[in-house]
Structure 1
Amino acid sequence: MTSTSPMDAGTYEVLRDRLGAQAGELARRAEALNARRTEEFGSTELTLAGTEHLRTEQLGVPRDIVAVGDRLLFGYNTLPGLRPGTAVGDVLALHDRDLEPLPEDAVPGLLDDPAFLREFADLYRYYREARLLRLRRVDGRLLAVFRTGEKSDDIRVLRWALDADGGTAFLDARGERDHVLPPSHDVEWTATTREDHVLGRHPHVSVDGQVFVAAVGGTLTVKTEDDTETGEGIHSEPVDEPLQSLADAEIAYARVGPLVLLRVRPYKEETRRHLVFNGVTGTVTRLDGIGRACRRLPEDQGIVFPGGYYLTSGEAKTFDTDTGTEGMEFERVVRSPNGEDVLYAFHAPVTGRGLLLPYNVIRKAVATPISCHGHALFDDGTLMVLRAGSDEPSRVHPLQRWHSSYVSDTYAAGRATGSGALSRIGNADLVRGISDCLSIARGVFETEPTGGVYETLVAACVRAGDRYHWLGDPEAGDLGTPLDEVRATAEQVLSEFETVRTLTRRAADALGESADRIASLVRRARGEVPGGAGAWVDRLTELRGAQGHLLTLKEMRHADTGRIDALAADIDTDIVSFARRAIAFLERKDAFSDYHDDIEQLTEAAGAISTVAEAEPIASRLDERTVGLRTVTEVVAGLDIGD
Structure 2
Amino acid sequence: MNTNEEKPVQKDALDGGTYEIIRKRLNTHKSDLQERLNTLNEARKTVFGSLETQLIANNRISTENNCVARDIISLGNTCIFGYNVHFGLRTEISLSDVLSIYEFKDHHFGSVALNLFEDATFKTDFSNLYKYYRNTIFSKFARIGNYLHMVFQLSESVTDIKTFKWLIKDNKLTYIDNRSEHEFKYPQQHQFKWQEATRDMQRYGEHSHVAILDKVFVETIGGDLTIKIEDNTEDGMGIFSEPVAYKDQTLDDGQIRFADLGNLIALEIKPFQEEPRYFVYNHKMQEVQKIDSIKETAVLLPDDQGIIFPNGYYLQTGEFHLFSNEVQALKYQETISSPNGEDFLYVFYSPTKGTYLLMDYNMIEQEIKTPIVCGGFTILPNGELCYFKADDEQTKHHMIQIWQTPYLEGDIMPSEHQDSMLYKIGNKDIVKAMAEANELITLLSKEDNYDGLYADIAKSSKNILDAYYWLNEKETAVLNEPLKEINIAANAAIDEFQKVIQLKKNAEKQTQEIQQKAQKLFSKIKSTSFKNINEFVELLSQLRALRGEVIGLYEIRYVNEGFIKSLETEIAQQTTTISRRCVEFLLKDKALQPYHDKVEEKQQQLDKITKVVEAKKLEEDVNQIAIDLEMLIDIVSNLDIEDTSHSTKIIDNISLIFA
TM-score of the aligned structures, taking structure 1 as reference length? 0.91
The answer as to 2:319 corresponding to 1:309 is no
Structure 1 residue aligned with 2:394: 393
Structure 1 residue aligned with 2:5: none
The answer as to 2:24 corresponding to 1:22 is no
- Structure 1 residue 196: Cα displacement: 1.5
Q: Letter of the aligned partner of 1:465 in structure 2?
A: L
Partner SS state of residue 252, structure 1: strand
The answer as to 2:184 corresponding to 1:179 is yes
Any idea what the Cα deviations from partners look like across 1:286-328, whole Å, max 9, x if unmatched? 111111111111122121111222222322222234xx22121
Structure 2 residue aligned with 1:353: 355
Q: Letter of the aligned partner of 2:392 in structure 1?
A: D
Structure 1 residue aligned with 2:575: 575
The answer as to 2:44 corresponding to 1:37 is yes
Paired residues for 1:335-374 under 5 Å = 335-374=337-376
The answer as to 2:437 corresponding to 1:437 is yes
Q: Letter of the aligned partner of 2:299 in structure 1?
A: R
Contact kept in structure 2, 1:280 and 1:456, CA below 8 Å? no
Q: Letter of the aligned partner of 2:478 in structure 1?
A: D
Structure 1 residue aligned with 2:150: 144
- Structure 1 residue 4: Cα displacement: 13
Q: Aligned partners of 1:102, 1:36: CA distance in 2, in Å? A: 44
Q: Letter of the aligned partner of 1:628 in structure 2?
A: D
Structure 1 residue aligned with 2:110: 100
Contact kept in structure 2, 1:354 and 1:373, CA below 8 Å? yes
Q: Aligned partners of 1:571, 1:414: CA distance in 2, in Å? A: 73
Judging changes above 3 Å, is the alpha-carbon distance between structure 1 residues 448 and 596 closer, same or farther for their aligned structure 2 residues? closer
Contact kept in structure 2, 1:503 and 1:557, CA below 8 Å? yes
Paired residues for 1:31-430 under 5 Å = 31-81=38-88, 84-98=91-105, 99-105=109-115, 110-163=116-169, 165-270=170-275, 272-321=276-325, 324-388=326-390, 390-409=391-410, 412=412, 418-430=418-430
Percent of pairs with identical residues? 31
- Structure 1 residue 554: Cα displacement: 1.5
Judging changes above 3 Å, is the alpha-carbon distance between structure 1 residues 413 and 557 closer, same or farther for their aligned structure 2 residues? closer
Q: Aligned partners of 2:533, 2:138: CA distance in 1, in Å? A: 97
Q: Letter of the aligned partner of 2:63 in structure 1?
A: T
Partner SS state of residue 281, structure 2: strand
Q: Letter of the aligned partner of 1:540 in structure 2?
A: L
Paired residues for 1:536-551 under 5 Å = 537-551=537-551
Judging changes above 3 Å, is the alpha-carbon distance between structure 1 residues 414 and 445 closer, same or farther for their aligned structure 2 residues? closer
Judging changes above 3 Å, is the alpha-carbon distance between structure 1 residues 514 and 118 closer, same or farther for their aligned structure 2 residues? same
Q: Aligned partners of 1:319, 1:361: CA distance in 2, in Å? A: 19
Judging changes above 3 Å, is the alpha-carbon distance between structure 1 residues 121 and 4 closer, same or farther for their aligned structure 2 residues? closer
Partner SS state of residue 375, structure 2: strand
- Structure 1 residue 84: Cα displacement: 5.0
Structure 1 residue aligned with 2:652: none
Contact kept in structure 1, 2:91 and 2:131, CA below 8 Å? no
Q: Aligned partners of 1:581, 1:402: CA distance in 2, in Å? A: 76
Partner SS state of residue 392, structure 1: coil
Contact kept in structure 1, 2:209 and 2:219, CA below 8 Å? yes
Any idea what the Cα deviations from partners look like across 1:567-596, whole Å, max 9, x if unmatched? 222223333444455552685163323322
Judging changes above 3 Å, is the alpha-carbon distance between structure 1 residues 475 and 151 closer, same or farther for their aligned structure 2 residues? closer
Partner SS state of residue 114, structure 2: coil
Query: Number of residue pairs matched?
Result: 628
Judging changes above 3 Å, is the alpha-carbon distance between structure 1 residues 169 and 9 closer, same or farther for their aligned structure 2 residues? same
Most deviating of 520-529 and 27-36: 520-529
- Structure 1 residue 446: Cα displacement: 5.3
Q: Letter of the aligned partner of 1:195 in structure 2?
A: D
RMSD: 2.6
Q: Aligned partners of 1:320, 1:529: CA distance in 2, in Å? A: 58
Contact kept in structure 1, 2:76 and 2:380, CA below 8 Å? yes
Contact kept in structure 1, 2:267 and 2:279, CA below 8 Å? yes
Any idea what the Cα deviations from partners look like across 1:445-503, whole Å, max 9, x if unmatched? 25564343333222222222222222222331111111121222223333333222221
Judging changes above 3 Å, is the alpha-carbon distance between structure 1 residues 319 and 600 closer, same or farther for their aligned structure 2 residues? same
The answer as to 2:19 corresponding to 1:12 is yes
- Structure 1 residue 219: Cα displacement: 2.5
Judging changes above 3 Å, is the alpha-carbon distance between structure 1 residues 319 and 604 closer, same or farther for their aligned structure 2 residues? same
Contact kept in structure 1, 2:364 and 2:438, CA below 8 Å? yes
Contact kept in structure 1, 2:55 and 2:401, CA below 8 Å? yes
Q: Aligned partners of 1:573, 1:417: CA distance in 2, in Å? A: 74
Any idea what the Cα deviations from partners look like across 1:614-642, whole Å, max 9, x if unmatched? 75444444443333333333223223442
Contact kept in structure 2, 1:48 and 1:402, CA below 8 Å? yes
Q: Aligned partners of 1:458, 1:316: CA distance in 2, in Å? A: 24
Any idea what the Cα deviations from partners look like across 1:325-346, whole Å, max 9, x if unmatched? 2121111101112210000001
Q: Letter of the aligned partner of 1:308 in structure 2?
A: G
Contact kept in structure 1, 2:40 and 2:475, CA below 8 Å? no
Q: Aligned partners of 1:350, 1:75: CA distance in 2, in Å? A: 16
Partner SS state of residue 192, structure 2: coil
- Structure 1 residue 602: Cα displacement: 5.0
User: 5+ residue gaps in structure 2?
Assistant: 1-9, 648-659
Contact kept in structure 1, 2:602 and 2:618, CA below 8 Å? no
Structure 1 residue aligned with 2:457: 457
Any idea what the Cα deviations from partners look like across 1:162-206, whole Å, max 9, x if unmatched? 23x334321111121220110111121112122221111111111
Q: Aligned partners of 2:519, 2:129: CA distance in 1, in Å? A: 84
Structure 1 residue aligned with 2:654: none
Partner SS state of residue 281, structure 1: coil
Q: Aligned partners of 1:319, 1:515: CA distance in 2, in Å? A: 42
TM-score of the aligned structures, taking structure 2 as reference length? 0.89
Judging changes above 3 Å, is the alpha-carbon distance between structure 1 residues 536 and 594 closer, same or farther for their aligned structure 2 residues? farther
Q: Aligned partners of 1:115, 1:140: CA distance in 2, in Å? A: 20
Q: Letter of the aligned partner of 1:208 in structure 2?
A: L
Q: Aligned partners of 2:113, 2:61: CA distance in 1, in Å? A: 15
Q: Aligned partners of 2:91, 2:522: CA distance in 1, in Å? A: 94
Any idea what the Cα deviations from partners look like across 1:186-236, whole Å, max 9, x if unmatched? 121112122221111111111111101122233222111101111111222
Structure 1 residue aligned with 2:651: none
Contact kept in structure 2, 1:281 and 1:447, CA below 8 Å? no
Contact kept in structure 2, 1:326 and 1:348, CA below 8 Å? yes
Paired residues for 1:589-600 under 5 Å = 590-600=593-603
Partner SS state of residue 45, structure 1: coil
Judging changes above 3 Å, is the alpha-carbon distance between structure 1 residues 532 and 399 closer, same or farther for their aligned structure 2 residues? closer
Partner SS state of residue 603, structure 2: helix
Q: Letter of the aligned partner of 2:208 in structure 1?
A: P
Judging changes above 3 Å, is the alpha-carbon distance between structure 1 residues 40 and 205 closer, same or farther for their aligned structure 2 residues? same
Q: Aligned partners of 2:19, 2:505: CA distance in 1, in Å? A: 15
Most deviating of 47-56 and 507-516: 507-516
Judging changes above 3 Å, is the alpha-carbon distance between structure 1 residues 599 and 532 closer, same or farther for their aligned structure 2 residues? farther
Any idea what the Cα deviations from partners look like across 1:531-586, whole Å, max 9, x if unmatched? 97667544433332222122212111111222222222222333344445555268
Any idea what the Cα deviations from partners look like across 1:145-165, whole Å, max 9, x if unmatched? 1122343332211101123x3
Contact kept in structure 2, 1:143 and 1:159, CA below 8 Å? yes
Partner SS state of residue 482, structure 1: helix
**For 2:607, which of 604, 615, 619 is the aligned residue?**
604
Most deviating of 456-465 and 200-209: 456-465
Partner SS state of residue 217, structure 1: coil
Q: Aligned partners of 1:415, 1:578: CA distance in 2, in Å? A: 82
Most deviating of 446-455 and 113-122: 446-455
Q: Aligned partners of 1:137, 1:42: CA distance in 2, in Å? A: 29
Judging changes above 3 Å, is the alpha-carbon distance between structure 1 residues 523 and 84 closer, same or farther for their aligned structure 2 residues? closer
